[in-house]
Amino acid sequence: MKTTRGKLHGIDRESVLLEARKTLAQPSRRLFAQRALTLGGLAMLTGCSLSDDKSVETFLSAVSRLNDRAQGWLFDPTKLAPTYTEAQLTRPFPFNAYYGIDEVPDVDASTYRLKLSGLVTGKRVWTLPELYALPRAEQITRHICVEGWSAIGRWGGTPFGDFLRRAGADTSAKYVGFKCADDYYESIDMPTALHPQTLLSLEYDGERLPAKYGFPMKLRIPTKLGYKNPKHIVEIFVTNTYPGGYWVDQGYNWFGGA
Ligand SMILES: Nc1nc2c(c(=O)[nH]1)N[C@H]1C(S)=C(S)[C@@H](COP(=O)(O)O)O[C@H]1N2
Ligand SMILES: [Mo]
C-alpha cells in the first residue's frame, strides 16, 4: 500500500495501519502495548469502532487528515466532548486503579486539606467545606479507559478553570500537576485545565464522591483518557516544568486525548 499522507505523529501511516491490524488480531491483554492503547483510546474518543480492517482504515485516514490540518478536531482545546442523558448512564460505574478496590485510600474528610502550590498567588490551602461552597456544575460524559472499556457517568463539582482563576493561578503557565492520596500523580496542559468541561469533581451521580471513585475529589476531563483523570487529589501545582504522570512515566502517551 502506498503512503500518500506522510507521517502521523512521526510514525508513517503504513506502520500505524500494520500496528492496528496486529493489535486487532491479539487477545485483549496485549492491548497494554502503548501505541495500540493510544490508538484504541483515540478511536473511542472520536467515536470510531475498530471492529474490522475497513473501520480501522477509515479511522486512521481521518486521524491522518486531521494531522495534516494542524488545528484539526482532535487537538482543538475548545472542542466539546459529547454529553449524554441520565438514561444512558452506565450502572454500576466501573472502579479502576493501579490496585484493587480493597486498597482504596481512606481519606479523612475532617483533616483533609487541598494544597495549591507553584505559580499561584491566591489561597493555597482549601478545606472541604470551602470547596463544597464553590459554584456547582454537573455533566454526564463518557469515561474512556485505555484498557478497552468505557462508561458513562454523572459528575458534579466546580469548573476547574474558574477554580484556577479564583486561586490566582498563572494561567499562562504550561502545566497543571496533581498529587494524589494513593501516590498516583498526573499532569495536564493549561488549555485542557481551562477547557469548559474540565470539572473539579466532588460528586458522583448526585452524591458525595465515594471512596472508590476518588473521595474527596477527582479531576474529570471528558476530553482525555481515563488515566489523565486523577482521583483522591491532595495537591494541585502550576508549573512550567513538565511533571509527567504515573502511567505516562511508564510509557503511555502524555497527551492522552483530544
Ligand atoms: N489516584 C488515582 N487516580 C486514578 C487512577 C489511580 O490508580 N489512582 N487510575 C486512573 C485510571 S487508569 C482510570 S480508568 C480511572 C478510573 O476511575 P473510576 O474508578 O472512577 O472508574 O481513574 C484514573 N485515576
Ligand atoms: Mo484507565
Test site for ligand 1: of 180, 227, 235, most ligand atoms within 8 A of the Cβ: 227
Q: 71-127, pLDDT tens digit by residue?
A: 233 446 678 899 999 999 999 999 999 999 999 999 999 999 999 999 999 999 999
Q: Which of 123, 101, 98, 103 is nearest to 113 (CA)?
A: 123
Closest residue by CA, ligand 1 atom 11: 227
pLDDT at 147: 82
| Distance (Å) from CA 201 to ligand 1 centroid | 13
| Distance (Å) from CA 202 to ligand 2 centroid | 19
d(CA 49, CA 170): 39
Q: Which of 159, 158, 178 is nearest to 231 (CA)?
A: 178
Could you give the count of Cα atoms lying within 13 Å of 223 in the half-sphere of its Cβ? 22
CB 132 within 8 A of CB 120: no
Closest residue by CA, ligand 1 atom 10: 227
CB 238 within 8 A of CB 119: yes
| Distance (Å) from CA 97 to ligand 2 centroid | 7
Sign, CA dihedral 126-226-105-185, equals negative
The single-letter DSSP state of residue 186 is E
Second-level CATH architecture of 86-250? Alpha-Beta Complex (3.90)
d(CA 196, CA 77): 10
pLDDT category at 62 given cuts 50, 70, 90 is low
Closest residue by CA, ligand 1 atom 2: 231
Q: Count the neighbouring beta carbons within 10 Å of the beta carbon of residue 53.
A: 12
- Which residues contact ligand 1 via a Cβ below 6 A? 94-98, 145, 180, 182, 184, 212-213, 226-227, 229-232
pLDDT at 254: 76
Q: Which atom of ligand 1 is nearest to the CA of 94?
A: 21
Q: 159-203, pLDDT tens digit by residue?
A: 999 999 999 999 999 999 999 999 999 999 999 999 999 999 999
Q: Of all residues in the chain, what percent carry a pLDDT higher than 90?
A: 61
Q: Check pLDDT > 50 for residue 144.
A: yes
| Distance (Å) from CA 222 to ligand 1 centroid | 13
pLDDT at 66: 45
**Residue showing cell 475532617:** 110
d(CA 139, CA 203): 11
Test site for ligand 1: of 37, 93, 96, 183, most ligand atoms within 8 A of the Cβ: 96
Domain boundaries, the chain: 13-74, 86-250
Give the residue-averaged pLDDT of 213-217.
Answer: 98
CA-based angle 128:133:134, to the nearest 5? Answer: 105
Q: Which three cell numbers stand for residue 184?
A: 498516583
Q: Which of 140, 5, 137 is nearest to 66 (CA)?
A: 5
Q: Which three cell numbers stand for residue 254?
A: 502524555
